[in-house]
Amino acid sequence: MTKQYKPKLYVGGKIKHNDFRYPTIMGLEPYVREYRPSNALTLDDNLKHFFSSNTEIENEPYQYMGPFPVCWIKAREEAEAEAKNGEAPGKTLSRKDVFNICQKGIELCDIFIAHFESVDDLTAYATLAEIGEAFSLGKVIMLSGHYDDRLWFVWKMAHYTFINRTFADVFPEMVQISIDITNDNA
């Protein structure tokens, strides 16, 4: 029996506390990883190290390539708490760090997934840019959630669409399609 390849999924969408990713992507909450780049390594080597040790989620048939919203939120909250307590804030993730990690996750993923929860997601500007990036890299794109005709151009980039379905409802189907695609191509 051949070992099944675990597809590498990037799951874009508007980032907020307790967003659609939780608890659908089991194990993501404790999956907080710190990005502490080494000055001795190049940016690319730092990112390779981060992704080589942080993409497995126990007992899941896929690898999670990002984004890592809990990392961003916790890093920001810790810096704010330190400043509030009169302490010098420790190293927090810069926008450049977040950008680099997201870009590398998209580059390394097999399947790019994005979910639009509501009309509010029309302001998910980073997600829209990520979809364009995934498209330009030739990634398989799956879009789900609230369809708004003002984003028709973005929806045309998708290979698979799941309109007006919740993420919890559609994610298992997306995972199975991802497994089928990547194992057929392996």
Task: Establish if 143 belongs to a structural domain.
Answer: yes
Q: Which pLDDT score is estimated for 19?
A: 76
Q: Tell me the pLDDT of the chain averaged across its residues.
A: 81
Q: Does the pLDDT of residue 14 top 80, yes or no?
A: yes
Task: Establish if 3 belongs to a structural domain.
Answer: no
Q: Which pLDDT score is estimated for 2?
A: 62
Give pLDDT tens digits for 59-74.
788 888 888 765 555 6
Q: Does the pLDDT of residue 143 top 80, yes or no?
A: yes
CATH number at residue 62: 3.40.50
Q: Which pLDDT score is estimated for 119?
A: 77
- The range of the structural domain enclosing residue 92 comes to 8-185
Q: Which pLDDT score is estimated for 181?
A: 94
Give pLDDT tens digits for 169-183.
999 999 999 999 998
Give pLDDT tens digits for 110-123.
999 999 988 777 88
Task: Establish if 50 belongs to a structural domain.
Answer: yes
- In DSSP notation, the chain reads -PPPP--EEEEEE---TT-TTTTTSTT-GGG-------TTS-HHHHHHHHHHHH-B-TT-SSEEEE--HHHHHHHHHHHHHHHHTTPPP-----HHHHHHHHHHHHHH-SEEEEEE-SGGGGG-HHHHHHHHHHHHTT-EEEEEE---GGGHHHHHT-SEEEET--HHHHHHHHHHHHHHHHHHH-
At residue 149 the predicted structure's pLDDT band, cuts being 50, 70 and 90, is very high
Q: Which pLDDT score is estimated for 49?
A: 66
Q: Which pLDDT score is estimated for 31?
A: 45
Give pLDDT tens digits for 42-98.
777 767 766 666 666 667 888 888 887 655 556 566 666 766 777 655 555 677 877
Task: Establish if 2 belongs to a structural domain.
Answer: no
Report the number of distinct structural domains present in the chain. 1
Q: What is the pTM of this model?
A: 0.82
Task: Establish if 31 belongs to a structural domain.
Answer: yes
Q: Which pLDDT score is estimated for 85?
A: 72
Task: Establish if 1 belongs to a structural domain.
Answer: no
At residue 30 the predicted structure's pLDDT band, cuts being 50, 70 and 90, is very low
